[in-house]
Amino acid sequence: MRIRREDVEHVREHSRIDEVVGEHVALRSAGVGSLKGLCPFHDEKTPSFHVRPQVGLWHCFGCGEGGDVISFVQKVDHLDFPEAVERLASRLGYQVHFEDDDGRAANARRDGIGQRQRLVEAHRVAAQFYAEQLASAPDALAGRTFLTERGFDRDAAEHFGVGFAPRSGEAMLRHLRGRGFTEDDLVASGLAGRGQRGLYDRFRGRLVWPIRDVAGDVVGFGARRLFDDDRIEAKYLNTPDTAIYKKSQVLYGVDLAKRAIARDRQVVVVEGYTDVMACHLSGVETAVASCGTAFGADHVRIVRRLMGDDRSLTSGQGGPQIGGQVIFTFDGDQAGQRAALKAFEEDQRFVAQTYVAVAADGMDPCELRQQRGDEAVRELVAGREPLFEFAIRSALAQFDLDAAEGRVAALRFTAPMVAKIRDTALRPEYARRLAGWLGMEVEAVGRAVRSAGRGDRGPGPRHDGSGFPAPDPRDPVARVERGVLQCLLQLPHLVPAEVDALDESAFEVPAYRAVHLAVRSAGGVAAALRLGPHGWLEAVREEAPATVGPLVTELAVSPLPTVAGDEALTRYATDLVLRLAEVDVSRAISTLRSRVQRLRPDDAGYGEAFAELIAAENRRRSLRERITG
């Protein structure tokens, strides 16, 4: 069973790839018709992930991944093909139809296909039900009181979709069954637990917060204990991992915060649902929280992408502030300090932009807002200190700095921390500060730091999966060949007719020659104009050997130099084609010339070769006259 082909086409054509990708990656302009950002599929510091909206393709020059809008959704959300199509269809408000292999309409509901859409729908219905219960049900009074006591009024509860799961444990299930959801749906969604007497509402008798993904779909809930007779002791319960909820990846509040995160290039990480609410209501719109788990490596990747964290945009003034800022509102307690210390072992680029905001009396943002008002929450965030500083000072607090032995031990412990700061420009500064905190000579601390730091590793080698040797980017001929292919794939309507005169011999780099062959087999420029951007690339990819497919995508997506306007682009494309033709004809000339030199004027074929040589030289002259650059 599969989704109807025309539905797949509709979804592919109408989904705006820049918007879909933009929900996960902050994209910036990268030349004509091209956008770039940090790749969501490998860890990188500078963007090599490109999107070309006009042709609906993306490609990462770092890890080689690439494809269309459907494959992007598949990869980023870990969905299979039909699930990804469904997800995109629901963004468009478009209903997809399933058919079996004979093309007969089929009912999707029974198979795994369509599951994602159903689980999301179940969550949407449940969230609405819970919210209504909180507003009106008598046994929800405890929930309403909880919110009021923490300074959240009815508007706030509605804005965040807070709800109440009735104590009976039956009501929500009845409601969902009434909407056609099966027992399997309820279990697969994580909404229901299975007990001895059948299913029950996992969150019964609790205050619930809907947890949304970046796109705004509710994918799970967080639930707080309200009643003393709650059978489950844990103060907070979360949806278990399901097909649509991965606790290592969800961030509470990310749907509300994502725009502000991209705009301000800042994210504030808080501990709980009420802290996220308090921050947003206080005007700190970049606040998010991890749900039932520590803020981990996956979360780091997600927020970095949303910030568009990117070294190439920095001022380069050597300060600790590069790219965006991540601000943790750690408690001043042991757990917070451990988390700060642990951060040294994680991505240092991230650490260098990481700040810690600790309220003087250890209050969290929710308490702070309640007792001191919105202003105090904004001040908390404004008063952040660099994580390096926080971590080193937290470490120093373990030692008795009044005793000489304590100071020496503290230096022995903290010098490696300073040495681990990968940004070498920051090390002397921290060595100086450490000396101040320890009350020791800067020289001595500097020596300890230097001797603690040995062995930096560089980036690993790059490889190219095409099966062809990777072209040398410095080779000018390879660059021209690449440029011509980019133009052929991206701007066929602007490429001059000369290009059709080029045959296989014109391309020297084997991989490029293979792409050129696919372009010719697909019908060349004439076919490109007839097929339109989507069809043209499809056709070239079909003609290309499988190993060259990724290179075709790469060339179709990689940015052209920023020359705006059709006229400038036509000039650019024409020059490249003329250059390539010139290189080609020059090769022919040297072959002909050596042939003429080997022959004598009265040999057979001399006159013919000589005439050919003259014609080729004339041709080269006229090509050279037309090249402007």
Smallest distance, Zn ion to C-beta of residue 21, A: 12
Smallest distance, Zn ion to C-beta of residue 47, A: 10
**Quick one: which segment of 63-71, 372-380, 417-425, 454-462 binds Zn ion (CB under 5 A)?**
63-71
Instruction: Quote the CA–CA distance of 266 and 192 in Å, as a whole number.
Output: 37
Smallest distance, Zn ion to C-beta of residue 164, A: 43
Nearest to 134, CA basis, from 123, 122, 144, 124: 144
Report helix angle 549-557 to 510-521, nearest 10.
90
- Which is nearer to Zn ion, 63 or 589 (by Cβ)? 63
Chain-centre distance for alpha carbon 189: 26
Smallest distance, Zn ion to C-beta of residue 423, A: 23
**Quick one: which segment of 33-41, 316-324, 587-595, 611-619 binds Zn ion (CB under 5 A)?**
33-41
Smallest distance, Zn ion to C-beta of residue 261, A: 21
Site string for Zn ion, 40-59 (x = CB under 5 A): -xx-----------------
Please, what's the b/e burial string for 547-568 (b: 16 or more CB within 10 A of its CB; e: otherwise)?
ebbbbbbbbbbbbbeeeeeeee
Query: Is residue 62 within the footprint of Zn ion (CB under 5 A)?
Result: yes
- Which is nearer to Zn ion, 38 or 126 (by Cβ)? 38
How many residues contact Zn ion, by CB under 5 A? 6
- Which residue type does 151 have? G
- Which is nearer to Zn ion, 56 or 550 (by Cβ)? 550
- Which is nearer to Zn ion, 41 or 146 (by Cβ)? 41
Neighbours of 468 (CB within 10 A): 18
- The structure tokens 């940004």 sit at 423
**Quick one: which segment of 62-70, 308-316, 336-344, 476-484 binds Zn ion (CB under 5 A)?**
62-70
According to DSSP, residue 345 is labeled T
Query: Is residue 66 within the footprint of Zn ion (CB under 5 A)?
Result: no
Query: Which residues have CB under 8 Å from 99's CB, separation 6+?
Result: 1, 2, 3, 4, 105, 106
Residues numbered 277-296 forming contacts with Zn ion, rule: CB under 5 A = none
Smallest distance, Zn ion to C-beta of residue 554, A: 12
Query: Is residue 60 within the footprint of Zn ion (CB under 5 A)?
Result: yes
Using DSSP's 3-state secondary structure scheme, residue 29 falls into: strand
- The structure tokens 């915060």 sit at 257
Strand 236-238 to strand 206-212: parallel, antiparallel, or no bridges (unpaired)? unpaired
Query: Which residues have CB under 8 Å from 408's CB, separation 6+?
Result: none
Smallest distance, Zn ion to C-beta of residue 61, A: 8
Instruction: Quote the CA–CA distance of 67 and 60 in Å, as a whole number.
Output: 9
Smallest distance, Zn ion to C-beta of residue 296, A: 20
Please, what's the b/e burial string for 45-62 (b: 16 or more CB within 10 A of its CB; e: otherwise)?
bebbbbbbbbbbbbbbbb
Query: Is residue 63 within the footprint of Zn ion (CB under 5 A)?
Result: yes
- Which is nearer to Zn ion, 44 or 217 (by Cβ)? 44
- Which is nearer to Zn ion, 41 or 81 (by Cβ)? 41
Instruction: Quote the CA–CA distance of 606 and 595 in Å, as a whole number.
Output: 8
Residues numbered 400-419 forming contacts with Zn ion, rule: CB under 5 A = none
Smallest distance, Zn ion to C-beta of residue 50, A: 10
Strand 266-270 to strand 325-328: parallel, antiparallel, or no bridges (unpaired)? parallel
**Quick one: which segment of 60-68, 160-168, 173-181, 222-230 binds Zn ion (CB under 5 A)?**
60-68
**Quick one: which segment of 37-45, 279-287, 342-350, 585-593 binds Zn ion (CB under 5 A)?**
37-45
Instruction: Quote the CA–CA distance of 623 and 581 in Å, as a whole number.
Output: 8
- Which is nearer to Zn ion, 47 or 365 (by Cβ)? 47
- Which is nearer to Zn ion, 25 or 284 (by Cβ)? 25
- The structure tokens 């080029």 sit at 502
Smallest distance, Zn ion to C-beta of residue 308, A: 15
Instruction: Quote the CA–CA distance of 490 and 532 in Å, as a whole number.
Output: 10
Token readout for 204 is 């019964």
Smallest distance, Zn ion to C-beta of residue 303, A: 18
- The structure tokens 């803020």 sit at 295
- Which is nearer to Zn ion, 75 or 177 (by Cβ)? 75
**Quick one: which segment of 35-43, 122-130, 405-413, 478-486 binds Zn ion (CB under 5 A)?**
35-43
- Which is nearer to Zn ion, 204 or 301 (by Cβ)? 301
Smallest distance, Zn ion to C-beta of residue 51, A: 12
Nearest to 365, CA basis, from 292, 284, 300, 294: 284
- Which is nearer to Zn ion, 33 or 67 (by Cβ)? 67
Smallest distance, Zn ion to C-beta of residue 20, A: 17
- Which is nearer to Zn ion, 2 or 42 (by Cβ)? 42
- Burial tier of 376 (Cβ tally within 10 Å: 0-12, 13-18, 19+): middle
Instruction: Quote the CA–CA distance of 87 and 67 in Å, as a whole number.
Output: 17
Please, what's the b/e burial string for 12-37 (b: 16 or more CB within 10 A of its CB; e: otherwise)?
beebebbebbbbbbbbeebbbbbbbb
Query: Is residue 540 within the footprint of Zn ion (CB under 5 A)?
Result: no
Instruction: List 51's β-bridge partners, or say none.
Output: 35, 58
Token readout for 601 is 């004027």
Site string for Zn ion, 188-227 (x = CB under 5 A): ----------------------------------------
- Which is nearer to Zn ion, 12 or 42 (by Cβ)? 42
Give the Cα-Cα-Cα angle 279, 285, 287 (nearest 5 degrees). 60
558 with 50: CB under 8 angstroms? yes
Smallest distance, Zn ion to C-beta of residue 250, A: 22
One of 17, 32, 39, 276 touching Zn ion (CB under 5 A)? 39
- Which is nearer to Zn ion, 20 or 211 (by Cβ)? 20
Residues numbered 105-124 forming contacts with Zn ion, rule: CB under 5 A = none
- Which is nearer to Zn ion, 60 or 215 (by Cβ)? 60
Smallest distance, Zn ion to C-beta of residue 35, A: 15
Query: What are phi and psi for residue 68, nearest 5 degrees?
Result: -105, -170
**Quick one: which segment of 32-40, 118-126, 180-188, 238-246 binds Zn ion (CB under 5 A)?**
32-40
Binding-site ranges for Zn ion (CB under 5 A): 39, 41-42, 60, 62-63
